[in-house]
Structure 1
Amino acid sequence: MRKLAWIMTVLLLASVMLTACEEALTLSGKAKKVRLGVFKNVTHAAAYIALEKGYFRQAWGEEVDIEVTAFDNGSDLSIAMATGDIDIGFVGPGPATTFYLKSQNYRVVSGSNNGGAVLVARNGAGINSVKDLVDKTIAIPSKGNTNEISLRMLLQQEKLGVGKGTDNAHLIVRAPSDALISFRQQEIDATLVPEPWGTQIEKAGLGKVVVDWQGIPPNHGDYPTVIMVASDTFIQKHRDMVKGAIKANMEAIVYIQSSPDQAYDLINNQLKKYSGKGMDKSLIKASLSRLKLTTDVDVKVMEEMAKVSIDARYIKGINKEELDLHTFVDLSMLEEVKSRK
């Protein structure tokens, strides 16, 4: 009996020591696994390069399991952030802001790129400018996403409304990948989409870019379209790992800017992996030429976009005058990485 008791004591001590080691691992800032969320789109080029070049791996260590989930739209990824299913994600500011205001359990920690969306009109639809969108059907990738917000702002500039009446523009949800089919079937007259979908429509001879990316509001195309967000829990427990992700994103941006020809193939590898199919190199090149890779995040621009979401009733219970996203955008870790702290 004494021998059995001794064995049990040893096992208990071993268990306590193992638990202590695991806790020490957490306290040291190193998680065993990082759940990373991205889109199946070339606008997430920096995230793709960081994965393909191993920048995340270098920042976090070989022992860390990187679990990547590829999403079709920002709403799904933002829901995953709000429910704690993703630790770090790359997403558009529209849905990220909407779901943050509901859950308030994740933060913007860095930018990744600005712009990259275009307004494309179907050939034969009689659309040569934004004013021609009256009584036309325009596709958006999903309700409340960043592209819809930009479209609403574009319509507002020309004093055009959104609704079912003949004096309004009519919005319909269609995935960017379905835009080609919708154009062929004349189901839609125009679409505001991230690249490379606009270039694809043009190359197929089905439509033309009516407003290029630098004409898309807000801020003449210089607005966040892909930002990096991290959960509050992950930031609190693994702040250094969030900084590692920010550093990986920065390194990826530098690589794309300094070695674009090599980057196209690496981006394509990730597209094949997460979307099931690759993309012509010329489309990737065209996409990157219509966006601005940057870690900067303009809070005022994000607030301007959020106010459009409030008007559209995607964000409820908040007055536009009371909106303040400074608590949502935490760039302290980005500044630490830049200053090498």
Structure 2
Amino acid sequence: MKRKKLLLVLISLISLSIITACGQGEKGAKESKEVNIGYFPNLTHIATIVALENEYFAEAFGEDIKINTKTVSNGGLFMEAMATKSIDVGTVGPGPLLNIYVKDPRYHIISGAVNGGAVLVASEHSHIKNLADLDGKKVAIPVIGSTQDVMLRKALNDVGLKPTSNGGTVELFAAAPADTATLFIQKSVDAAATQEPWGYILETQAKGELLLDWETFAWGKESTNTVVAASKNFLENETFMKAYLTAHIKAVKFIEQNPEESQELVIKHIQDLTGKEIDKEELKAAFSRLEVTTAVNEQVIQEMADISKETEYVTSNDIEGMIQLEQLHSLEKE
């Protein structure tokens, strides 16, 4: 009798395990029917915008996969969205990603997207002529811990200056890039470390003067400004990884071969999203200040991590394992 009862209990446990496993499988299958792509609606995210406009993502993922998109205004919001799983993959600056990675290593760089594309612009009223003149001045950055924040800290360090938050004399002021022209006109800040096309807009609409162009600001042309970031779950889905990177590589090649058409796609996309028109000549000028690429400068990103640690944004500069380019390199060889 006892043996019969024991047998019944074992059968029940096995059945429960099978049902639970099936349920998890069904849930996993359901979750894999969607992909959440994040990006910023600006020029340094041109690869994502072109891939969306030309339907490269739709083609690569196939009609059975629903593609959801989410736009954010800064890297902090992007990483928050990744943490809450409303973004699985997309383009962001390396600064916010590495700041999160050292605390929670579930987020990875799987490709480059843009080198350069960041500039340092001085306002007309500030009379700043060189980096040393930033002593005692107020400089706008997109957000604390952003890639442009880290780039500015490197530039300041090169001339022996530090932000006030680290015992120095240069005040950093977080502001959305779209608001910096107004801040210049109102004389609220003296300079801005920003990405394109906002740098060019500061020059043309707010009488700003280019202090450091994309070739001389921080790491210059070698500066990895925008990367493709993916969550660990997305990284482990080989089918999705291949689909995204295939579309991304295709978009980068299209932009290299069709710069003018690509710029028109950006203008259309941003206008559809925001209702705002972007001047074609402004975008063309800003486009000349960046390089669209899948390459990742790992040395620069490590130096960014070193600066973030020195600034006490993070407690460690150990980013081993954050950059995962194996699938990208494999696809590029095909």
TM-score normalized with structure 2 length: 0.88
Q: Assess, with a 3 A threshold, how the Cα gap between structure 1 residues 167 and 232 changes in structure 2: closer, same or farther.
A: closer
**Count of matched residue positions in the alignment of Structure 1 and Structure 2:** 314
Q: Does 1:255 align with 2:249?
A: no
Q: Summarize the alignment of residues 69-84 of structure 1 with structure 2, pairs less than 5 Å apart.
A: 69-84=70-85
Query: Where does the alignment leave 5 or more consecutive residues of structure 1 unmatched?
Result: 1-15
CA contact (8 A) 2:185 2:206 kept: no
Structure 2 CA distance for aligned equivalents of residues 31 and 336 of structure 1 = 23
- The 8 Å contact of residues 82 and 103 in structure 1, kept in 2 or not, is answered as no
Amino acid at match of 2:231: S
Deviation, structure 1 residue 47:
0.3
Question: Quick check: 1:39 aligned with 2:40?
Answer: yes
Give the aligned partner of residue 267 of structure 1: 266
- Write the distance in 1 (CA, Å) between the matches of 2:110 and 2:176: 28
Q: Go from structure 1 to structure 2 and tell me whether the alpha carbon gap of 1:98 and 1:24 turns closer, same or farther (over 3 Å shift).
A: closer
> How do 1:1-341 and structure 2 match up within 5 A?
23=26, 26=29, 31-163=32-164, 168-218=169-219, 220-236=220-236, 238-316=237-315, 318=316, 320=317, 323=318, 325-340=319-334
CA contact (8 A) 1:81 1:89 kept: no
TM-score (norm 1): 0.87
Separation in structure 2 between the aligned mates of residue 278 and residue 225 of structure 1, nearest angstrom: 24
Structure 2 letter corresponding to 1:332 = E
Amino acid at match of 2:288: S
What CA deviation, in whole Å up to 9, does each residue of 1:241-274 have, x standing for no partner? 2121112111111111111121111111221233
1:43–1:287 CA contact under 8 A, matched in 2: no
Write the distance in 2 (CA, Å) between the matches of 1:264 and 1:50: 13
Give 1:269's aligned amino acid.
Answer: K
String of CA shifts for 1:141-194, please: whole Å, max 9, x gaps: 100000000000000000111117996111111111111110111000000100
Question: What is the rounded CA distance, in whole Å, between the counterparts of 1:184 and 1:166 in structure 2?
Answer: 29
Q: Tell me, yes or no, if the aligned pair for 1:90 and 1:226 is still in contact at 8 Å.
A: yes
Preserved contact between residue 124 and residue 209 of structure 2 (Cα < 8 Å): yes
Q: 2:14 maps to what in 1?
A: none
- For 1:330, the aligned partner's letter is Q
**1:326 shift after superposition:** 3.3
In the alignment, is the contact (CA less than 8 A) between 1:79 and 1:99 conserved in 2?
no
> Aligned partners of 1:225, 1:267: CA distance in 2, in Å?
18
Contact 1:139 1:174 in 2 (8 A): yes
Distance 2:94 2:167 in 1: 31
Identity %: 33
Structure 1 counterpart of 2:13: none
Separation in 1, partners of 2:82, 2:123: 36
Q: CA RMSD in A?
A: 2.2
Q: C-alpha distance in 2, partners of 1:281/1:117?
A: 19
Distance in 2 separating the partners of 1:221 and 1:261: 21
CA contact (8 A) 2:184 2:206 kept: no
CA contact 1:82–1:106 (8 Å) conserved in 2 = no
CA 1:249 to 1:278, structure 2 compared with 1: closer, same or farther past 3 Å? farther
Quote the offset at 1:221 in angstroms. 3.2
